[in-house]
Amino acid sequence: MSIEPPTTTKDIRAAIAKIPRVSLACLPTPLQEAKQLSKALGGPRIFVKRDDLTGVAFGGNKTRNLEFRLAAARASAADTIVMELDQQSNSARQTVGCCNRLGKKTILILEGSEPECIQGNLLVDHLLGAEVRFASSRSEQRRMSREAVAKERAAGRAPCLLNDIPMFDEGSAIAYLECACEIVEALEAQGLVPDCIYMSSSGKGQAGLILAQQLLAGFQVRGITATSEFDIPPRGAEIANRAARTLGLDVSVSPVQIINDDSFVGEKYGIPSEAGNDAVRLFARTEGIVLDPVYTGKAAAGMIEHIRRGDFGSKDIVVFVHTGGTPAIFAYNHLWLECQIEKKGGKTP
Ligand SMILES: *Cc1c(COP(=O)(O)O)cnc(C)c1O
């Protein structure tokens, strides 16, 4: 049965409830008003959706989609999860944490050579007890993950290569459709409605916010990407439509409806930008909220620029989704210490 838009968060939640899922995240995450940040910017009312507090190993947005992806892995009775990712991957960290909670072993095949200093997400991966291996190239990474799967199987275990579970895109969209419901419900309880929701996304999570926008009507969604790897509007629309079909929701999204700004990537993915780092400092110093320099700092830089150029009135309600990534700050420690240490006549580490 399909649901005609406009609908309610209750209808959407009922559709999501039909999807196989394991409970991993602490939901709903808090929605906090950022009054000092708003004051500092002379801007609209700003609310931060604290998805950095999803509750597993420093939290983040991936814990939400892992509830769907690991349900699919569990259906195949896997006891070992193999994952191909990057060295400072938030996704890797959250996957290992979630697998620990489900009693599964994790093998991470990470691209790049082993760094001298093990910091940030990689440090947490080790702490969580993942088996970590390094691959010199993408093709080597593929080969090594196939080999790991074959070896585990030969040892009598039941491995699953999580990259091959097709729920990553759709799981993220469904997860962020639900996150949008949480935002709308939390504001509704205060007699408010959102005008605009900002989120760092290369399409997957944003697809869910767009579905919510279509189904609930009213608010704008502005994605800001941390990578130039994708043509996001068609990718986001395709993921949104696939998720809508899975959920039996009668709604369709076209690429022109997806607003995603790629002008805050800076040099490239994984390289912090000045505007992004300024945003990290501003959130920290006004709200005590720690963003990260790879994703959320750059997204916040976009929101800040839009507020400063006057996109919003003082009564508008702007929501910033903090997608997590916090442990990455430790891998970029020099960025935060430089000026302070120089002032004291010390050395930059
Ligand atoms: C992975 C990640 C994103 C991007 O999520 P999408 O799936 O592209 O929507 C944003 N922020 C952080 C911190 C992430 O780890």
Q: How confident is the model at residue 348 (pLDDT cuts 50, 70, 90)?
A: very low
pLDDT above 90 covers a percentage of the chain that reads 89
- Look at residue 286 and tell me whether its pLDDT is greater than 70: yes
pLDDT at 290: 98
What is the 313 CA–ligand 1 centroid distance (Å)? 28
What is the 127 CA–ligand 1 centroid distance (Å)? 22
The β-bridge relationship of strands 259-261 and 220-224 is parallel
pTM: 0.95
200 in ligand 1 pocket by Cβ < 6 Å? Answer: yes
Report the alpha-carbon distance of residue 28 to residue 192 in Å, rounded: 18
Those residues with Cβ within 8 angstroms of residue 189's Cβ, 6 or more apart along the chain or in another chain: none
3-class DSSP assignment, residue 196: strand
Q: How confident is the model at residue 202 (pLDDT cuts 50, 70, 90)?
A: very high
- Look at residue 212 and tell me whether its pLDDT is greater than 50: yes
pLDDT at 2: 59
Report the alpha-carbon distance of residue 20 to residue 12 in Å, rounded: 15
Query: What values do phi and psi take at 263, rounded to 5?
Result: -90, 5
Specify the ligand 1 atom closest to the Cα of 91: 15
pLDDT in tens, 261-273: 999 999 999 999 9
Bond preceding residue 6 cis, omega within 30 of 0: yes
Specify the ligand 1 atom closest to the Cα of 89: 15
Specify the ligand 1 atom closest to the Cα of 52: 13
Specify the ligand 1 atom closest to the Cα of 205: 9
pLDDT in tens, 314-336: 999 999 999 999 999 999 998 88
Exposure string for 254-274, b = 16+ CB within 10 A, e = fewer: eeeebbbbbebbbeebbebbe
Cross-strand bridge partners of residue 317? 45
297 in ligand 1 pocket by Cβ < 6 Å? Answer: no
Give one DSSP letter per residue of 48-82, joined into a string: EEEGGGSSSTT--THHHHHHHHHHHHHHTT-SEEE
Report the alpha-carbon distance of residue 319 to residue 324 in Å, rounded: 15
- Look at residue 349 and tell me whether its pLDDT is greater than 60: no
Say which range, 52-56, 172-176, 184-188, 343-347, has the weakest mean pLDDT.
343-347
Q: Is-contact 322 50, C-beta < 8 A?
A: yes
What tokens appear for 284 in the block? 């920290």
Mutating to test ligand 1, I would choose from 280, 323, 332 the residue with most ligand atoms within 8 A of its C-beta, which is: 323
pLDDT at 73: 85
- Look at residue 6 and tell me whether its pLDDT is greater than 70: no
pLDDT above 70 covers a percentage of the chain that reads 95
- Look at residue 74 and tell me whether its pLDDT is greater than 90: no
- Please tell me the chain's helix, strand, coil percentages from 3-state DSSP, rounded to the nearest 5: 50, 15, 35
pLDDT at 344: 54
Q: How confident is the model at residue 166 (pLDDT cuts 50, 70, 90)?
A: confident
pLDDT at 218: 82
Specify the ligand 1 atom closest to the Cα of 294: 13
Taking only Cα atoms into account, the Rg of the chain, rounded to an integer number of angstroms, comes to 20
What is the 322 CA–ligand 1 centroid distance (Å)? 10
| HEC readout, 286-325 | HHCCCCCCCCHHHHHHHHHHHHHCCCCCCCCEEEEEECCC
Residue minimizing CA distance to atom 6 of ligand 1? 201
What is the 201 CA–ligand 1 centroid distance (Å)? 5
Mutating to test ligand 1, I would choose from 295, 320, 321 the residue with most ligand atoms within 8 A of its C-beta, which is: 295
Q: Is-contact 138 111, C-beta < 8 A?
A: yes
Q: Is-contact 163 83, C-beta < 8 A?
A: yes
pLDDT in tens, 297-312: 999 999 999 999 999 9
Say which range, 15-29, 30-44, 156-170, 251-265, has the weakest mean pLDDT.
156-170
Residue minimizing CA distance to atom 12 of ligand 1? 323
CA–CA–CA angle 263, 86, 300 (5° rounding): 30
pLDDT in tens, 216-237: 988 999 999 999 999 999 999 9
Instruction: Read off the DSSP letter of residue 85.
Output: E
- CB-neighbour burial class of residue 311 (10 A; exposed 0-12, middle 13-18, buried 19+): middle
What is the 317 CA–ligand 1 centroid distance (Å)? 23
Those residues with Cβ within 8 angstroms of residue 329's Cβ, 6 or more apart along the chain or in another chain: 120, 280, 290, 292, 293, 336
For residues 98-105, average pLDDT: 96
324 in ligand 1 pocket by Cβ < 6 Å? Answer: yes
Specify the ligand 1 atom closest to the Cα of 90: 15
